Structure 1
Amino acid sequence: MQKSFAGSRSVPAHPQRTEGYLFVDNARFLSIVCIVLLHTNWFEVDPTPSLLESAIVALRGFGILTFFVITAFLMASKMQKPQFRVLEYYRDRVNRIGKPYLVWLAILLSITFARLISLGKFRLIDIPLEIWHTTFFTAFWYIPVLLFSLAVMLLLRQHWWKPWFPAAALGASVVYGVNQYYQWFTPIHSFAFFGFLFYMWLGLWLYRNLERVQAWVLALPWWKVLAATTLGLILATAEARLLIHLGSLNPYDGLRISNQIYALICLLVILKLPWRLAPSFVDVRKDSYGIHLVQVLINTLGKSAITLALFALGLDRSFTFFDRVPDYVPNPLVRIAIWFSWFVLVYGISLWITQQIRRTRLAWIVGGG
């Protein structure tokens, strides 16, 4: 039996339910953990991180690419339904992803403008710059890039299975990776509007070939998978440290070549895992997007509160504590302990707020409803 993607060649339909893939839930959970872990990092501007710190930052680098893969995988699942319509699907994505994003973006911008006004630094001319910065230099960058990528993929759906499409998409991802060294354009993945198309195509391909891929992955010995993962992490860490040495603007960029390789290996690990990773109090399908949105606000407010407290106590009058964490906390193990403690706090608060909002009429602002 075969069903087809709208406007594409026929693809095998899976006998499994289109909901409830264990690896998708595990990928969602790990991706959100990685994203929050990244943005709760207190020493991201450290020009001379310890090897352990570099390895931990590199460790969570697979998260964002995995998110694009599972987004397309779930889109492929939706496209199997007879009532699927491209415009209706995209409109639903805009409503469920775009509208909540605009709400939290507006909240964060309002707080930013209120802070500038209180400091006497607010200027009308700075409004576009603040909007630009908040949109593309916080964790919010993911949403406009995702919606753009979805639009491109849907517009080109008739070409998905033509050989040139994955080749061109992979070529774009490689260009972004090589650009880390040559800087033909700003080497930051939050501007990489065409850099993630290959990983969306990979999600479509994975859905189409899931049974064969899972059989192959399950047959792989764990020692080979873990050895490959370790090697991938070593490469990702080494390239990040090389980019730091070269003065890169974003040495841990998600599209650097080694991280793309590492992310693909991590995807195999996630496919092979036989158990659910998320604790029972986390509903990865209902909580993940809300956590992603809320954590930006919690992290920003928390760091602002710490900065003000240090100023009030006379410990830092320059408001630059988070730019100079290695100077204040020279021991890398202590920095890592602080980082993970802050991550647990931000993740926990974001999860709680998301779950509380989901019980109200405002559930739509965290992707529910």
Structure 2
Amino acid sequence: MDKKREEKTVKKNFDFVDTIRCISMMGIVFEHSAAIQSGIYSSTFDTAVESSLIQSFKFSTIAFFLIGGFLINHKFQEYSTKQYLKNRFKSTIRPWLFWLLVYVALMMIDRYVSYLRGGDDAVVTNFLGTTWNHFVFGLCYTSSWFVLNFLLCICILLIFKKYLYNWWFGVVLGIVSLVYSLNLYHNWFVTNHSMALFGFIFYLWLGVILNRYFDRVMNYINRISWPIMILTVVVLFVLAILESFELLSLGSKDAYNTLRVSNIIYSFGMFALLLKIGNIEVLQKKMEPRQTTFGIYLVHYVLVVRLLPLIFQPMKLDYLNYSVWVNSGIHISRFLIVYGLSFFLVKLIRLTRAKWIVGG
């Protein structure tokens, strides 16, 4: 009887994980589908609209690391470090590298077409150098970087595996994350995401702890009434927007950084709300997040970088002179195109022998 109850609990946990995984991936794709640089509006109201749109899904990256940690907790116990890394790298690195090389190939084709039209000749005079530059850019300055970052975080947790459930270990990781938060105000180092090598380990560790104490956490969350939970998330949402305003007033180029203190707390609030909501069955049945999420992540950044320019550049859109409403509509349109096509391509690829390229 106890065994059946345990199996049922595990099944329920994975249902909730898949729901959050699906919503988080939508948020990540939405963020990457932005058409313009943030902070271009002089009006406070327009900036507030822009901030609200961006902030709405800003919980996604931290939520993704939390559920990543939730899932690996059992794996750490079931497999040796060597076995786990072997399985993880086999299922992750090969498809990741494939799409990174697809990105590089498409960029080189684009540069060659530009050269034929009278553009820069570096693609023919310095082919290897140009290829390498695109590879480095794809590795460090696109969403492809987060796959390696995620694996790095896992490796660090494995190195310190014997301290995994030590609260002081979590405190140290939390302090490291806060350094990145404070850096937004002090500029000790550049704030782009490729520098945040160790900024997300804490959230992976926190996911591990959530798995261990899941029943206690859910008992606490379920005691919170819906009005209080929703009001709390709304307040945290507003505070996150206010911090973005503060960073914009300081001239920050990264005012919507994921590791803002207010966004970290907002992400926790949204994650708790999603835990309280639980499994959303329609997402499970229609979106199949367990089978498609990783593939969508791998495919979408190639579509953002190469497909969207082909669609929108010929329109010669004047973003700087459009209203915030028009630009928001364009942002949403770009998201629908990218996410819809990514989902369709992943589903299609999974029907073929090449399904390994989307993690199948």
Task: Establish whether TM, by shorter chain, passes 0.5.
Answer: yes
More deviation in 85-94 or 47-56? 47-56
Partner in structure 2 of residue 356 of structure 1: 348
Q: Tell me how far 1:41 sits from its aligned partner.
A: 1.1
Among residues 158, 163, 175, which one is paired with 2:162 in the alignment? 158
Partner in structure 1 of residue 323 of structure 2: 331
Among residues 304, 307, 314, which one is paired with 1:302 in the alignment? 307
Whether the 8 Å contact between 1:294 and 1:350 is mirrored in structure 2 is yes
For structure 1, list consecutive stretches of 5 or more residues without a partner in the other structure.
1-12, 311-315
Q: Tell me how far 1:208 sits from its aligned partner.
A: 0.5
Question: 2-side partners of 1:46 and 1:128: how far apart?
Answer: 32
Structure with greater helix percent: 2
For structure 2, list consecutive stretches of 5 or more residues without a partner in the other structure.
none
Whether the 8 Å contact between 1:62 and 1:266 is mirrored in structure 2 is yes
Whether the 8 Å contact between 1:189 and 1:255 is mirrored in structure 2 is no
Question: 1-side partners of 2:278 and 2:200: how far apart?
Answer: 28
Whether the 8 Å contact between 1:229 and 1:266 is mirrored in structure 2 is yes
The SS at the match of 2:283 is coil
Partner in structure 2 of residue 7 of structure 1: none
Partner in structure 2 of residue 193 of structure 1: 197
Is 1:55–2:14 an aligned residue pair?
no
Whether the 8 Å contact between 2:104 and 2:134 is mirrored in structure 1 is yes
Are the structure 2 counterparts of residues 266 and 288 from structure 1 closer, same or farther at C-alpha, using a change threshold of 3 Å?
same
Paired amino acid for 1:71: G
Whether the 8 Å contact between 1:58 and 1:240 is mirrored in structure 2 is no
Question: 2-side partners of 1:283 and 1:223: how far apart?
Answer: 30
Whether the 8 Å contact between 2:233 and 2:266 is mirrored in structure 1 is yes
Whether the 8 Å contact between 2:25 and 2:293 is mirrored in structure 1 is yes
Partner in structure 2 of residue 267 of structure 1: 271
Question: 1-side partners of 2:101 and 2:278: how far apart?
Answer: 41
Is 1:90–2:85 an aligned residue pair?
yes
More deviation in 347-356 or 130-139? 130-139
Whether the 8 Å contact between 1:101 and 1:140 is mirrored in structure 2 is yes
Q: How does 1:302-321 map to 2 (within 5 A)?
A: 302-306=307-311, 308-310=313-315, 316=316
The SS at the match of 1:278 is helix
Whether the 8 Å contact between 1:31 and 1:67 is mirrored in structure 2 is yes
Partner in structure 1 of residue 75 of structure 2: 78
**How large is the Cα RMSD of the aligned pairs?**
1.9
Partner in structure 1 of residue 32 of structure 2: 39
Whether the 8 Å contact between 2:40 and 2:320 is mirrored in structure 1 is no
Question: 2-side partners of 1:16 and 1:188: how far apart?
Answer: 42
Partner in structure 2 of residue 64 of structure 1: 61
Whether the 8 Å contact between 2:19 and 2:284 is mirrored in structure 1 is no
Question: 2-side partners of 1:236 and 1:197: how far apart?
Answer: 22
Whether the 8 Å contact between 1:188 and 1:249 is mirrored in structure 2 is no
Whether the 8 Å contact between 1:47 and 1:244 is mirrored in structure 2 is no
Paired amino acid for 1:42: A
Q: Tell me how far 1:45 sits from its aligned partner.
A: 4.1
The SS at the match of 2:10 is coil
Question: 1-side partners of 2:8 and 2:194: how far apart?
Answer: 35
Among residues 218, 221, 224, which one is paired with 2:225 in the alignment? 221
Q: Tell me how far 1:197 sits from its aligned partner.
A: 1.2
Among residues 130, 139, 144, which one is paired with 1:140 in the alignment? 144
Are the structure 2 counterparts of residues 249 and 46 from structure 1 closer, same or farther at C-alpha, using a change threshold of 3 Å?
closer
The SS at the match of 2:285 is coil
Paired amino acid for 1:333: W
Q: Tell me how far 1:78 sits from its aligned partner.
A: 2.3
Among residues 296, 315, 325, which one is paired with 1:291 in the alignment? 296
Whether the 8 Å contact between 1:32 and 1:292 is mirrored in structure 2 is yes
Question: 1-side partners of 2:358 and 2:273: how far apart?
Answer: 29
Identity %: 27
Q: Tell me how far 1:279 sits from its aligned partner.
A: 6.1
Whether the 8 Å contact between 2:236 and 2:266 is mirrored in structure 1 is yes
Paired amino acid for 2:300: Q
Question: 2-side partners of 1:279 and 1:43: how far apart?
Answer: 33
The SS at the match of 1:289 is helix
Q: Tell me how far 1:184 sits from its aligned partner.
A: 0.8
Paired amino acid for 2:132: P
More deviation in 33-42 or 112-121? 112-121
The SS at the match of 1:154 is helix
